[in-house]
Amino acid sequence: MARITLQNVSKSFGGDAGPWAVRDFSLDIDDGELVVFVGPSGCGKSTTLRMLAGLDEATSGTISIGGRDVTQLPPKDRNIAMVFQNYALYPQKTVYHNMAFGLRVRGEGKAEIDRRVRAAAASLDLGHLLERKPRQLSGGQMQRVALGRALVRNLDAFLLDEPLSNLDAKLRVKMREEIATLHARLNATMIFVTHDQVEAMTLGDRIVIMRDGLIQQAGKPLELYDRPANTFVAAFIGSPEMNLVEGQLVRESGKLSVRAGGLNLQLPEKAFSESEQDVVLGIRPEHISIADSSPVLMNVNLVEQIGAQTYVLGTISGHKFRAVLSRKDDVVPGQTIPVMLPKERIHLFTRSTGRTLRLA
């Protein structure tokens, strides 16, 4: 496997004049790391992956894989494999021959092809399906065949472009677990593209969050969850998304607090920059709890029972908030409940740019 470096990589489908699909993308991916590119449709994540694969040419910047500058190399010379969303299997070929095809093209011997195909099939629980054709397989089995076709080769990196998006919810969870297990066993360098933040959080050693062709933040999953760089990351990571309310940063009687209409919350000292007064208050739904002694009241509008948890949608001082509570059978719409918004869990962002005001 290999280290991958993208330095100031940009892509425009209209030449130097733009518009830009990816802008000034710089990232180092360590040997054996699984990095997830995540973001909404059109953010540039798949375009970045295609530039890595050589399927799209970078407008500017450099790409290196295993210490080699591959920016101008065709896909066949980059020693990588790409697994697509639509599987891209040959319908007339068996599972065995789909997995063996790339090795045959490269002139590998029959015995070596057979050894590699059967080893990859065993690792993906495909051994009993080798004589079937794609039309005889389920969606999850076809996805495993697409992975197996990549695994049979001795590659520097695996690129996976939304490989689970065509699967139903239950099968996506199973395949997610299989990919994580496969990565741990192979210690392979992998880049996984998805629009699903749950997939990103559960799979990635690191996550790269993109928007409008730009990296918004890159880091370990819990770093992004605990310390989002801006309101976009704060709202994108976490399910349900973070509550965000416009307010004012004020200091009275020596104490720092954030005020949003009738809601006034004291803040921990030396946790936030006081450079701007117009702010956005953020708190995750799972950090709100019922507290009988709290003066903060939530008017309950909607209750969603999820089983182990209760989702409550309501208003606090006229502002919409969502809370995720441990199961509460006695919370009903129309009720007013006292809630705690712990100051240690509060996030602050500038209203003008959305960047975090949290100090290091």
pLDDT score for 15 = 72
pLDDT score for 88 = 83
Contact 124, 130 (CB under 8 A): no
CATH number at residue 113: 3.40.50.300
pLDDT score for 156 = 87
Residues 57-83 have pLDDT tens digits of 999 999 999 999 999 999 989 989 888
Residues 302 and 217 in one domain: no
Residues 45 and 150 in one domain: yes
Residues 320 and 285 in one domain: yes
Residues 128 and 251 in one domain: no
In a domain, 358, yes or no: no
Angstrom distance (rounded) from CA 151 to CA 255: 59
Residue the block writes with tokens 């869990």: 345
Domain boundary pick from 185, 215, 234: 234
In a domain, 182, yes or no: yes
Residues 232-291 have pLDDT tens digits of 999 999 999 999 999 999 998 889 999 999 999 999 999 999 999 999 999 999 999 999
**Which residues have C-beta within 8 Å of that of residue 76, sequence separation ≥ 6?**
none
In a domain, 265, yes or no: yes
Q: Are strands 278-283 and 243-252 parallel, antiparallel or unpaired?
A: antiparallel
**H/E element, 31:** none
How many Cα atoms occupy the beta-carbon half-sphere of 327 within 13 Å?
A: 5
pLDDT score for 206 = 97
Question: Residue 161's domain spans which residues?
Answer: 4-234
pTM for this predicted structure: 0.89
In a domain, 94, yes or no: yes
Domain boundary pick from 189, 217, 234: 234
In a domain, 355, yes or no: no
Q: In the structure encoding, which two tokens stand for residue 150, read together?
A: 């990549």
Going through 155-271 in order, the beta strands assigned E by DSSP cover: 157-161, 190-194, 206-211, 214-219, 243-252, 255-260, 263-266
Domain boundary pick from 234, 250, 279: 234
Residues 220 and 264 in one domain: no
Residues 80-133 have pLDDT tens digits of 988 887 878 999 999 999 999 989 988 899 999 999 999 889 888 899 999 999
CATH number at residue 247: 2.40.50.140
Residues 171 and 26 in one domain: yes
Triad 86, 87, 89: Cα angle to 5°? 125
Exposure pattern of 73-85 as b/e (b: 16+ CB <10 Å)? eeeeebbbbbbeb
